[in-house]
Structures are given as C-alpha cells and as structure tokens.
Amino acid sequence: MNLDTYKKKSPWILHYNCGSCNGCDIEILAALAPKYDLERFGILNNGNPKQADIFLVTGALTYRSRARLIELYKQIPEPKVVVALGSCTCTGGVFRDMYNVENGIDSFIPVDVYIPGCAASPELIIDGIIKAIDILEAKTNEKEKVKKDFT
C-alpha cells in the first residue's frame, strides 16, 4: 500500500489566511474543536505545505499576500485540493473592488470547492471539507491509474 492510499483516510490541511478579518478562521477552529469534531475524519491542521493535501484559504486576497498564495500552492504536492472558505476568498466579499484587494483567489490558483458565507459556519465548512476529501480521493485514484498504465 502506498502513501497516497493513506492520504484518502487522513487528509492534512494547510490553512492560509490571505487577508481575512479572522471571522472565518475562528469558525475553522470551531469546526476542528470537539463540538463539531472535524478531526474525526482524520484531518490534521498542519503548517507545512509539503505535507498538505488540502489547501484551505480564508480572506480577501490582498496584493501583498498574492505571491505567497501562489508559492504555497506550488509547494503542495499532487494530488491536492483547494478550498476557498468564505465569501471573501470566493469573490472578494465585502472587500470586493477595494484598492488593495484581488477579487477571489480563483484568478490566481485553481479552486475545487467554494464554501460561501460571512463567516462560513462550521456546518458549511464540514460539508466543504467532505467534498474536498471526495475530490482528493478521485484525484488520487486518477494518479494511481496513470501510474499503473505506465508500469
């Protein structure tokens, strides 16, 4: 059994705040804490992009954080899933069209799951993460299939 198989069972998350008011970030902590217990799916919030499977991004993307967002995305190994958490990350939200804000991260990196809300509730976050796990599994299976076809 290779490492990719384990990824499906315990996806590790890299959380990056690219300009959030912290509202959505607090909801992530609530989702991980015992009341909602997102960790029951084997999820671990890890600060290392090279060990991450799911890139969880919050906040309106500021000009200053744009390069860092792209760099972190590149450092996460394939297969990976990107989740835009909260209205700001999806579209710019209440900060849309401000002088120092890019509108939505999907202009710079591909997004697999959009979680709406200001702030996004723990229920919506759990729903989005479950979708992300399904997408991660599909991408992992595809990668394994390609590997088999060439071996």
Binding site for ligand SF4 (CB under 6 A): 20-21, 23-24, 58-59, 86-88, 93-94, 118-119
- Least Å distance between CB 84 and ligand SF4? 10
Given the complex with ligand SF4, which of 23 and 42 has the nearer CB atom?
23
Nearest residue relative to ligand SF4 (C-beta): 23
* Strand pairing class (12-17; 44-45): parallel
Q: Quickly list DSSP for 51-109.
A: G-SEEEEESPPBHHHHHHHHHHHHHSPSS-EEEEESHHHHH-GGGTT-TTB-S-GGGTS
Of the two residues 21 and 133, which places its CB atom closer to ligand SF4 in the complex? Answer: 21
CA 46 and chain centroid, separation = 12
Least distance (Å) between residue 17 CB and ligand SF4: 8
Return all residues near 96 (Cβ < 8 A) that are at least 6 apart.
60, 103
Nearer to ligand SF4, 79 or 104 (CB): 104
Nearer to ligand SF4, 118 or 138 (CB): 118
